[in-house]
Amino acid sequence: MRRSTEMQGARSPALQLLLLSCCVCAAAGYPFKAPLDLDVTPRITVLSSGLQGCRRFQSSAVNYSTMLLEADSERLYVGARGAVFALNASDISASSALTIEWEASPEQKRQCLLKGKDNKTECFNHIRFLQRFNSTHLYMCGTHAYKPLCAYIDEERFVMSSQLEEGREKCPYGPTTGYTALIIDQEMYTASQYEFRSFPDIRRNSPSPTLKTEDAPTRWLNEADFVGSALVRESLGSSTGDDDKIYFFFTERSQEQTTTYSHSRVARVARVCKGDRGGRLTLQKRWTSFLKARLMCSLPEYDFHFNMLRSVFVMRGHMPQDTLFYGIFGLEWKNVKASAVCRFSLSEVQEAFQGPYMENQDADSKWKEYTGKIPDPRPGTCITDALRARGINVSTSLPDDALNFVRRHPLMSQQVQPSDRRPLLFRRTTDYTHMAVHMIQGLDGQKYHVLYMGTDEGWLHKAVEVEGQLHIIEELQLFEEPQPVSNLLISAKQMSVYVGSPSGVLQLPLSNCRRYTSCYDCIFARDPHCAWNGAQCVDIMSHANRSTLIQDIQHGSRGCENTQDDVVQRSRSVRVGDDVLLQCELSSNLATPLWTLDGSELQGYGLNSGFRTGTDGLLIIEARQDQSGMYTCYAVENNIKVAIVTYNVTIRLDLPPPPPVEPTEDPYDLFTTLPAPTEHPSSERPLPPPPAPLLPHSELLSPRNMEAMYLSLITILGGLCVVLTVVLVYVGFCLRVGNRGKYSLRAAAAAYPNIKKHNRNKKQHRSSSHMELKTISSHCNGNGICNGISKQHNGDIQDGGFLQIVPGEAHPSPNKESPPPAPPLPPTPQLPSPECDFPNGLSATLPSVLRRMNGNSYVLLRQSDSENTSPLCYSFAEELNRILEKRKHTQLLPRPDESSV
Ligand SMILES: *[C@@H]1O[C@H](CO)[C@@H](O)[C@H](O)[C@H]1NC(C)=O
Ligand SMILES: *[C@@H]1O[C@H](CO)[C@@H](O)[C@H](O)[C@H]1NC(C)=O
Ligand SMILES: *[C@@H]1O[C@H](CO)[C@@H](O)[C@H](O)[C@H]1NC(C)=O
Ligand SMILES: *[C@@H]1O[C@H](CO)[C@@H](O)[C@H](O)[C@H]1NC(C)=O
Ligand SMILES: *[C@@H]1O[C@H](CO)[C@@H](O)[C@H](O)[C@H]1NC(C)=O
């Protein structure tokens, strides 16, 4: 629930917050648990910067929405706006891509414009159809600026036939019109509302006779929006001599208003027989086998009906009878995001078509179940052996009374219920657009269905079905710019999932087991592709000898009892009265943190306990000496406690001064407490009062360390000189530039994901003020540039002078946007902003300055000892690495130790 609210909040400034949460290291996970069983939280979150093994294809074209990949194909065909591509399926980013450009002519675009169509979207040639025609040729259709055309593609040479075919009857006119089509034995079946004003229609276009759906006296389709179709070869192994059938999936306006539901739209499945040739007199050139039924996907106990069918995936079994249909459903209310995944078996669908019919006596009355006599042969059935025995071997021989009945009774009374009569998955705040399902046998011998689902904002959710429930293994951010996933395909041969989107095509491995770094991590993930081999989480496909592998998809908890995972050991030395943050990031969104002190659990983290816990660690507030000891952070998941990190915390009255600069063994885990904050001018949040001030500085000067102190002082003063020089240069520079130089240390904060993270988690901490890089007497000059010398609360000027630049309040400059409101922060770790470049070097020294700056902030720099924990912060860690390397050599500042100064 809490997660949902956050997600909703994130939606309005969606992009900024999305990117913000990137830097905020979502690897730490959402701190939220799902209250509703069915509202499933993805176990881990991977941002686009942390995607591994991802390949992309992009070109000048947009709208990569049509994809074709055949079972043993080496090529992935992609239809976009104005172009078709043949990509190497094993690596779509390879330079071997072949292209056919097929744009609408300028004349056609002009006519499109004259028809009042949108020249930014509709007046282009969107490839809507691309499938195999015969062994040597593909067939494609494009909207062609509102005048659809079709063409053959010579597969070997990858060129288009010079002869274009009329596409009016096969392809919709616009890029977003609901549409589905199949080529079966060189006959094309299409379903769409072709022209704007025409009725929706399911057609077989060739050869003649062309068959269509009926519009009068009973309209078979009502504003139908088609999402998918499938051929099921039910003739194979049929004991009754049954025909193959084509199933169509769509949402349409409801006819059957009853008291139990009052929905204006409903999800449907319809079917026709492949051998249908229409009627002789009645239903001439119309389907004689068209029937439709309602697809149900609802949470009856909450009175939630998912009536909008968005996408269908057809999962083929060993036999046609084993076919399963997976559907993604949404709510009718456009402003409410929610998705449900329901699965239907072919036999459930068949049962509905065997059941009673609906009827309405006259146009105005409601549809209700037909209880009268049903003609023989049963209306809407395919030609079977029983009919052939009666001399009816084609649909044109069907008796008129049966066909007349079909004409008026297209709708079945029985609804198609999903397996278990409920969704496999329900998710609020997510709109899934497409999905694909892959089946894999786990080490337990069971066959698992792994679902890959794309969202309208460019995320991919991967989920495994265990006992009728979906466990979301991970959510991957595919694109930095939110955009809907417009197609999804899986290749078992390439072990890849392909994603089409407005901006490009993306190829991802089906699994990435190396992401899991411990046995429990590997087991908790419940990814059927992955197992623990004693040392690593590996892909089971790459292991011939599987007997030693550990996997537990069913429970996600067993098998790791005897494995020893390394626990990170750290120590902290701080002064009495300081606030201390012990970092502990949980990579799983499903884990909860648990802390022990010297082996006993820390109970309650309330206001007076002196502790506060968040998703990223434990905060010791105003440390007391009796709080010294061995702290251990555990991640609790599936009722199993896994130790993550231990801290040996020493809290004492005085501390030795920092020794001379030396490379440290742990250079990235810098931990500093900073003096008490004042409200940051640019912060819009009400912040609680600042915590206690620091002790006087003289305490640091113990005689024993005088020599080291002198050295440090010299170093510090040197550093100060450099900083002041930089400040002067900078101020001079910015003055010259004029009023444009407006900076906030927020920009600096952007370089420190953890700082912002604290901001995000502020509710979990006593105050958010410690998150602000703060302090200082800041007097603004007219240019909105503030600088000052760091001061303590008692007014003493501290040795570590530093620069603070805050946003100007006085002069809103016309040529730039106003600074974004908190919390959205610029996501780039780059300090210089476009308006006014820092003089060279400042960005390199600033991190040291920040660390030295003794605000009450924690300048907590991430440790990069485990790349795995957060791929999201990877680039940041690299950046920091560089900076620290540089500093190590220049030795500007004292050794970054783990103690407060
Ligand atoms: C096509 O791409 C453009 C730009 O990427 C996007 O705005 C538009 O919505 C896309 N249209 C479709 C039909 O995907
Ligand atoms: C596709 O790429 C793979 C690996 O990059 C290469 O081995 C193969 O030859 C390529 N296939 C084609 C058809 O270019
Ligand atoms: C679309 O049409 C408008 C006017 O009808 C014109 O101003 C605009 O430049 C056109 N855009 C494109 C991309 O052709
Ligand atoms: C496939 O269809 C194309 C287009 O009709 C035709 O030119 C080609 O000869 C056909 N190929 C085969 C093998 O039938
Ligand atoms: C259908 O049956 C008639 C005889 O009733 C026969 O002449 C005709 O060849 C049959 N057609 C097919 C396609 O089997």
Q: What CATH number should be reported for the domain whose range is 63-206?
A: 2.130.10.10
Length of the chain: 901
DSSP string, 449-517: EEEEEEETTSEEEEEEEETTEEEEEEEEE--SS-----EEEEETTTTEEEEE-SS-EEEEES--GGG--
Query: CATH number of 211-429: 2.60.40.10, 3.40.630.40, 2.130.10.10, 2.30.110.10?
Result: 2.130.10.10
Task: State yes or no: pLDDT of 896 exceeds 80.
Answer: no
Q: Are 618 and 633 in contact (CB under 8 A)?
A: yes
Band of residue 719 on the pLDDT scale cut at 50, 70, 90: low
Angle value at C-alpha 590, between 585 and 594, nearest 5 degrees: 55
Mean pLDDT is lowest, of 212-221, 288-297, 770-779, for 770-779
Angle value at C-alpha 486, between 481 and 491, nearest 5 degrees: 110
Q: Which carries the bigger pLDDT value, residue 262 or residue 231? A: 231
Give the mean pLDDT of the chain: 74
pLDDT tens for each residue of 541-564 = 988 888 889 999 999 999 998 887
Q: Whose CA is nearest to atom 10 of ligand 2?
A: 88
Q: Which carries the bigger pLDDT value, residue 471 or residue 687? A: 471
Q: What CATH number should be reported for the domain whose range is 566-688?
A: 2.60.40.10
Write down the pLDDT at residue 38: 62
Instruction: Say if strands 187-192 and 165-166 run parallel, antiparallel, or are unpaired.
Output: unpaired
Write down the pLDDT at residue 756: 32
Average pLDDT over residues 143-171: 94
CA of 327 to the centre of ligand 5 (A): 40
Q: Which carries the bigger pLDDT value, residue 790 or residue 117? A: 117
Residue 481: CA count within 13 A, CB half-sphere? 5
Q: Do the domains at 211-429 and 566-688 have one common CATH topology?
A: no
Write down the pLDDT at residue 753: 34
DSSP string, 409-459: --BBSS-BPPGGGS-SEEEET--EEEEEEEEEE-TTS-EEEEEEEEETTSE
pLDDT tens for each residue of 400-419 = 999 999 999 999 999 999 99
Rounded to whole angstroms, the Cα distance separating 645 from 39 reads 31
Mean pLDDT is lowest, of 201-210, 272-281, 319-328, 696-705, for 696-705
**Ligand 3 touching residue 119 (CB < 6 A):** yes
Task: State yes or no: pLDDT of 248 exceeds 90.
Answer: yes
**Ligand 3 touching residue 96 (CB < 6 A):** no
The β-bridge partners of 132 are: 138
Q: Can you give the C-alpha Rg of the chain in angstroms? A: 33
Direct distance between the N- and C-terminal alpha carbons of the chain, in angstroms, rounded to an integer: 41
- Residue 648 one-letter amino acid: N
Q: Which of 70, 73, 96 to mutate to test the pocket of ligand 2 (most atoms within 8 A of CB)?
A: 96
Rounded to whole angstroms, the Cα distance separating 174 from 142 reads 9
**Ligand 3 touching residue 5 (CB < 6 A):** no
Write down the pLDDT at residue 612: 84
Closest by Cα among 233, 219, 369 to 286: 219
Write down the pLDDT at residue 10: 34
**Which pair of structure tokens corresponds to residue 595?**
């802390």
CA of 393 to the centre of ligand 5 (A): 6
Q: Whose CA is nearest to atom 9 of ligand 1?
A: 502
**Ligand 3 touching residue 136 (CB < 6 A):** no
Q: Which carries the bigger pLDDT value, residue 460 or residue 23? A: 460
DSSP string, 518-587: SHHHHHHHT-TTEEE-SSSEEEGGG-S--TT-B--TTTS--S-TT-----EEEEEEEETT--EEEE---S
Q: What share of the chain is helix, strand, coil (3-state, %, to 5)?
A: 20, 30, 50
**Ligand 4 touching residue 133 (CB < 6 A):** yes
CA of 407 to the centre of ligand 5 (A): 25
120: CB partners within 8 A, 6+ apart:
none
**Which pair of structure tokens corresponds to residue 27?**
């690897």
**Ligand 2 touching residue 93 (CB < 6 A):** no
pLDDT tens for each residue of 334-380 = 888 999 999 999 999 999 999 999 998 776 677 889 999 999 999 99
- Cβ neighbours, 10 Å, residue 421: 10
Q: Whose CA is nearest to atom 8 of ligand 3?
A: 119
Q: Whose CA is nearest to atom 9 of ligand 4?
A: 136
- Residue 895 one-letter amino acid: R
Q: Whose CA is nearest to atom 9 of ligand 3?
A: 119
CA of 487 to the centre of ligand 2 (A): 23
Task: State yes or no: pLDDT of 176 exceeds 90.
Answer: yes
- Cβ neighbours, 10 Å, residue 98: 14
> Which ligand 2 atom minimizes the distance to the CA of 96?
14
Q: Which of 393, 396, 397 to mutate to test the pocket of ligand 5 (most atoms within 8 A of CB)?
A: 393
CA of 88 to the centre of ligand 2 (A): 6
Q: What percent of the chain has pLDDT over 90?
A: 52
Write down the pLDDT at residue 217: 87
pTM of the predicted model over 0.95: no
Task: State yes or no: pLDDT of 3 exceeds 70.
Answer: no
> Which ligand 4 atom minimizes the distance to the CA of 137?
1
Average pLDDT over residues 266-280: 95
Closest by Cα among 371, 347, 374 to 361: 371
**Ligand 5 touching residue 393 (CB < 6 A):** yes
Rounded to whole angstroms, the Cα distance separating 325 from 247 reads 10
DSSP string, 184-216: ETTEEEEEE--STTSPPEEEE-SSSSPBB---S
Task: State yes or no: pLDDT of 453 exceeds 90.
Answer: yes
Q: Which of 114, 119, 120, 121 to mutate to test the pocket of ligand 3 (most atoms within 8 A of CB)?
A: 119
Mean pLDDT is lowest, of 90-104, 118-132, 649-663, 684-698, for 684-698
Q: Which of 85, 87, 90, 98 to mutate to test the pocket of ligand 2 (most atoms within 8 A of CB)?
A: 90
Residue ranges per structural domain of the chain: 63-206, 211-429, 566-688, 729-900
